[in-house]
Amino acid sequence: MASLTCLVPFALLSVAACIQQAHAWSTQEETVEEESEQQEELDAQRWQLGYEQWQRQCVTHERSAGISTRIARGEAAEPGQFPYQVALLLQLNNGSLRQCGGALITLQFVLTAGHCLTNAAGGKLFLGATTYANATAAEATFEMSRRNFNVYPDYLGFGGYHDLALIRLPHEVTPSERVQPIALARQFMQQPLLQGQLVITSGWGATTDELNATARTPDQVDGLQYASVKVLEQQRCICLFLPGLVNARRHICTDGEGGRGACQGDSGGPLVYRWHNVSYLIGITSFGSANGCEVDAPTVYTRITAYLEWIMDEAGIVDSQQSTVDSQLNAINA
């Protein structure tokens, strides 16, 4: 299973190369076949070199097995404590339900994980509540269909690369003490600033590994939980997972010390950094260790600064508007 995870991207590249050269097979079959074999050998050599380099860099680090979309050992949130937190109850094409989180970034757009929307036909979105998927407790509830979904174009439908998506609400939500958009991370909020800092992750996911292994209906989900976690040194995070799963530019990791961190059902939820009394969205929950939520393993998030241009373009945010959001939040928190 581990080797398959590592090799999937290269297999896809090889297939793409064959498709592009297919027109030449009828007249140059032997040449194309030879070139294809050479390309496969070259791809294998490149992967082996990358794997060996990863081994050399990671020799001092213990490794985690696989990945799992996965707040364990957190604290209960108070109403209005995280006014940007969104609950998603998604209906899949096969009729089953999927639990995810999200972050309100404007009055009409929510940011979540791409894998949350994979095979989703629609669902419901809840704002302003600490109880999961409860229309009575929520300040605003929206019905969603595929036409509301905008998955990052390079997301393949699986794995943690480019694991990001936007949901457009049918109309703007009315802001209140319990419903407010969060400011997007600024470009200077990169790894050197964030490493070792305490940040906040939140969601309605499983609170223990025992619950993680149990299918739960929406009314069995605990109230909104949050945990303070530290931003992990990037090379250590890369080394704790299989090669190729974590990308230094596109991912941000938290340490999972004491078993605290995201768990099953927290996918798509926010990772937040407080800077000058303003909350900034720096990550979206993507995946964690397949060994469980309470094993002191990192949680991996999609790094917002790597996708700022796409997010702002698709959500119609101009920099002056973002600055206005920053100013408004500063005033609220003054």
Backbone angles phi, psi at 141, to 5 degrees: -130, 135
Q: What residues contact 23, with CB distance under 8 A and at least 6 apart?
A: none
> Looking at this protein, which amino acid is placed at residue 53?
Q
Q: List b or e across 255-279, with b for residues whose CB sees 16 or more CB atoms inside 10 angstroms.
A: bbeebbbbbbbbbbbbbbbebeebb
- Give the active site residues: 115, 163, 267
How far does Cα 131 stand from its chain's mean position?
A: 22
Give the Cα-Cα-Cα angle 87, 230, 77 (nearest 5 degrees): 35
Which residue intervals of 143-240 are DSSP H helices?
191-194, 209-212, 234-240
Q: Which tokens is 325 given?
A: 């959001």
What is the spatial distance between Cα 283 and Cα 277, in angstroms, rounded to a whole number? Answer: 18
> Looking at this protein, which amino acid is placed at residue 15?
V
> Looking at this protein, which amino acid is placed at residue 107?
L
Q: Which tokens is 31 given?
A: 């040449």
CB 311 within 8 A of CB 110: no
CB 195 within 8 A of CB 250: no
| Strand positions, DSSP E, the chain | 75-76, 85-92, 97-104, 109-112, 120-127, 140-145, 149-151, 165-168, 183-184, 198-203, 225-230, 251-254, 270-275, 278-288, 299-303
3-state secondary structure at position 147 = helix
